[in-house]
Chain A
Amino acid sequence: MIARDVCERVLRRAASTGADYAEIFAEYTVNNGIRMITGRVEAVDDTVIAGAGIRVFKGLRSVMASTVDISEAGLLRCAEQAAEALGQGDAVMDIRLRERLFGDVHPVRIAPSSVPNQEKVFVLREADGAARDYDACVKQTRCNLISVDHSILIATSEGLYTQDRQIRTRLAVTAVAEQKGETQTGTVSPGYRMGMEMFEGLVDPTAVGVEAARQAVVMAGAGYCPAGVMPVAIGNGFGGVIFHEACGHSLEASSVAYGVSQFAGKLGQKIANEKVTAIDDGTIPNAWGSINIDDEGTPSRKNVLIEKGVLKTYMIDKMGGRRMKMEPTGSARRESYSYVTTSRMTNTFIAPGDDTEESIIASMEYGLYAKNMGGGSVNPATGEFNFAVNEGYLVRNGKICEPVRGASLVGKGSEVIQKIDMVSAGLELGQGMCGSSSGSVPVNVGQPMIRVSSITVGGR
């Protein structure tokens, strides 16, 4: 993408006003998306993103300049801009780059860019047909097949020169069902860090369409969820959004390093129920949130965040590490060259426990079973979070009863992780796009079924 000797010259220019660290992040990304609405291909998105971001640090000060011009002249101008914003002077930093190959633990067999649009449309048609054939009350569908081919180059004043190619594919199906004038939706959106071979046994478009339709039909026939404080069983897979929102964001250096986290200064302390072991692992082969290296060139790794309730580590980027006086953990991520890197999650999940799903449901006299969860958000400073229940059922006397819609769960992270008092086996991961200051990045959330002994359920 950019030759090593060019990077050396650009880094020297960037560091010329006294920076103690300089970095180039360049990318060439091809985004493709085909959208089918109720049986017809409606749009094809096809975008090339290319540019570079240059960062320099001096102590705890950081400067970032970005450009779409990745010619040597364009990069030198960008480096100059960053250098001038940092300080003045004629500092000389001896920068010799050595290429480092980290290897790729996420093999891709069929690069999506090599597959004609028509073949991708077959996948959409299969999913769309399955959703609409599921039930007559499915009135509309929206199916998207998204592929991302993201090549990155990172060169730093520490001598690192490396590249990585990240290919991701995702199918998203939303079904809209109508019953007695009520409109409800169901969405299923599996994705992996792999190519079109995802559809050769791992993801069945028919099953995705059927599941989206099933959720929509069940919810269209559901009454409103009652409001109140009650025990809640949260299903596996995307249910892990509870940990992501309630706790995960508050363990990122982007909040901890600045003191705006309820978990700042609590390493080694018991912050969660002893049933909770939580892990962020960017090394899971072909998982949606996986990375070989992070966006600062640090190799990804498995970080045990909480072990049996005790806080073991945070997720840390380089600048966060400087502030916290801790090493980076392979957690630095950015949506693209035009965002400033910060610490983010990859594949984050609650590890399996020794309860069973049956015992969790049986333990609840009256409560909610949140089978499928939607998205959520958190304010790390206060720990207050929210997330939506896409498919919920009331539980009475240990039995799953009627479906309920419109529920959301709210609470405070530091309190709710103490209340996760049952954890089953059966870990699954669910895919999402996580938005934060460094943009939108692919992440997995995950867990086996868990029970929260009491939480506020928003409903009516």
Chain B
Amino acid sequence: MKFEAFKAAVMAAAQSEGLTDYELYYVCDEGVSVEAFAHKTKNFTSQTSGGACFRCIVNGKMGYASTEQLSEESARSVVLRAKENAAVLETEEEVFLGEGGKTYAKIERESYPLPTTEKLIETALAGQEATYAADSAVIDGGETGAETFRRSVAICNSRGLDVKSDLSGAFCYIEAVVSDGSEMNNSYEIKVGSFDKLDIPATAAKAVADAKSKLGAGVAPTGSYPVIFAPKAMADLIATFTGIFSAENAQKGFSRLLGKEGEVIAAPCVTLTDDPFYPDAPMPMVFDAEGSPTFTKNIVENGVLKTLLHNLKSAAALDKITTGNAAKNGYDGAVEIRPFTFCLAPGDLTEEQLLAQAGNGVYIDFLGGLHAGANPISGDFSLQSAGFMIENGEKTRAVRSFTVAGNFYDLLKQIAAVASNTELRSMGGVTGFASPAVLVNGLSVAGE
């Protein structure tokens, strides 16, 4: 059954059950990917997945049920199950459905044709060859891949909301594995966008150079140092702790930022912006998971907290309006709160100037185990790291297998300077994090 027919069946079932407040949310993801290994294509994958989530308000509670099977039978089943699930809920918070008739932004972005399967194969193989050509230290083991993605999202409800979005794009990745005969290392590069603008040799060369730079790396000496987080590492750190800016988390006691709007929570050089239309983000969205219009806003401005991220429910609880940040984890999750592209605004220093300001310290360009070594509630982190020592304002010997530890709430205030070299970390889907390199004074490093 196609979605439109399923939608009609669900709406009819909802009405026959006497429901007055209900919504259907649908996502369909399609993708084609090619992976290459040791000069040859290895895997070809063509995927279609997704499903529909029905939710309804019964006695002031919002019940959910989801399915991947679009059929007459499942249309009726999701309605009945959502009603039943609402009956067990006990939260006192008022719940909402978005209203129809809103005005949405127009995305001004040049679209590009999706690469054909032949082009995907060609790109994946070219990535392989470019990797081997970049350096004699490259060995078998690195995968390159090229993928296309297409995501359709539709939301319709009993309040007149009826919105749709169709987004598509392409990306490729190149992994380089290098060896010096005694040890191996690897590194990845990912490029999103039109393959016509893709510089495969340069991308491969960067992956190879990064992997090579850590061969024979030592361990950083234990101590407290000025630390520079490279753009990707800082973006990863922000991504890990982004939940502290969710109003829902704050209201439930899982963030310390409740009621801190207008207060200084970060150093003056820190401005954090949420941008649903960030230029390089793979999936710009004009509506959020409740159908509210999205817009760009500062969350932290020159160190001062301006707003938390809201959906309809969290905003109403504080007598505010939504920031258009309702989000769902897959088609089936409950509506939560997430940024689109969360960006730390660039400063005006070059990375060289940032290194000079650090003097002697540690430059970290990789953080590992973020899901484990960081506590998003307390803000504490102790993370596997790799990078370089900084001596007299210059990056010197490579270091790895050490940890950097601190607390994210404290770190926001300890940021001494921000560089201008922003890079985007796309997390897949609509969420991304962008950051330049930052200098943080006095973090604990554990190594030898």
Identify the A interface with B (CB < 8 A): 31, 34, 37-38, 40-51, 60-68, 81-82, 85-86, 117-118, 121, 139-140, 176, 182-185, 224-225, 227-229, 258-260, 262, 338, 340, 374-377, 379, 381-382, 384-388, 405-408, 410-412, 456-460
User: With A42-B89, A381-B141, A388-B382 given, can you name 14 additional A-B contacts, CB distance below 8 Å?
Assistant: A41-B88, A44-B64, A47-B68, A62-B44, A64-B44, A85-B44, A176-B377, A374-B372, A375-B369, A385-B369, A406-B380, A406-B405, A410-B384, A456-B219
Q: Are A258 and B141 in contact (CB under 8 A)?
A: yes
Within the complex, what minimum Cβ distance (angstroms) separates A361 from chain B?
22
Q: Are A66 and B382 in contact (CB under 8 A)?
A: no
Q: Are A61 and B47 in contact (CB under 8 A)?
A: no
Give the complex CA separation of A95 and B418 in angstroms. Answer: 64
Q: Are A182 and B186 in contact (CB under 8 A)?
A: no
Q: Are B186 and A381 in contact (CB under 8 A)?
A: yes
Within the complex, what minimum Cβ distance (angstroms) separates B225 from chain A?
11
Q: Which of B47, B373, B401 has the most CB of A within 10 A?
A: B373
Given A118-B88, A459-B405: A49 in contact with B68 (beta carbons within 8 A) = yes
Q: Is B252 an interface residue (CB 8 A)?
A: yes
Q: Is B46 an interface residue (CB 8 A)?
A: yes
Q: Are A227 and B369 in contact (CB under 8 A)?
A: no
Q: Which of B43, B332, B372 has the most CB of A within 10 A?
A: B372
Contact residues, B49-82 vs A (CB, 8 A): 49-51, 63-70, 74, 77, 81-82
Q: Is B152 an interface residue (CB 8 A)?
A: no
* B378 interface neighbour in A117, A182, A262, A411, Cβ under 8 Å: A182
A41 contacts which chain B residues (CB < 8 A)?
Answer: 88-91
Q: Are B377 and A183 in contact (CB under 8 A)?
A: yes
Q: Are A412 and B401 in contact (CB under 8 A)?
A: yes
Give the complex CA separation of A458 and B223 in angstroms. Answer: 11
Within the complex, what minimum Cβ distance (angstroms) separates B345 from chain A?
28
A183 contacts which chain B residues (CB < 8 A)?
Answer: 256, 377-378
A47 contacts which chain B residues (CB < 8 A)?
Answer: 51, 65-68, 332
Give the complex CA separation of A408 and B446 in angstroms. Answer: 10
Within the complex, what minimum Cβ distance (angstroms) separates B303 from chain A?
21
Within the complex, what minimum Cβ distance (angstroms) separates B56 from chain A?
12
Give the complex CA separation of A456 and B332 in angstroms. Answer: 41
B51 contacts which chain A residues (CB < 8 A)?
Answer: 47-49, 68
* A382 interface neighbour in B42, B67, B184, Cβ under 8 Å: B184
Give the complex CA separation of A23 and B380 in angstroms. Answer: 46
Q: Is B222 an interface residue (CB 8 A)?
A: yes
B20 contacts which chain A residues (CB < 8 A)?
Answer: none
Q: Are B368 and A384 in contact (CB under 8 A)?
A: yes
B448 contacts which chain A residues (CB < 8 A)?
Answer: 229, 456
Q: Are A51 and B384 in contact (CB under 8 A)?
A: no
Q: Is B100 an interface residue (CB 8 A)?
A: no
* B141 interface neighbour in A182, A260, A406, Cβ under 8 Å: A260
Give the complex CA separation of A161 and B248 in angstroms. Answer: 48
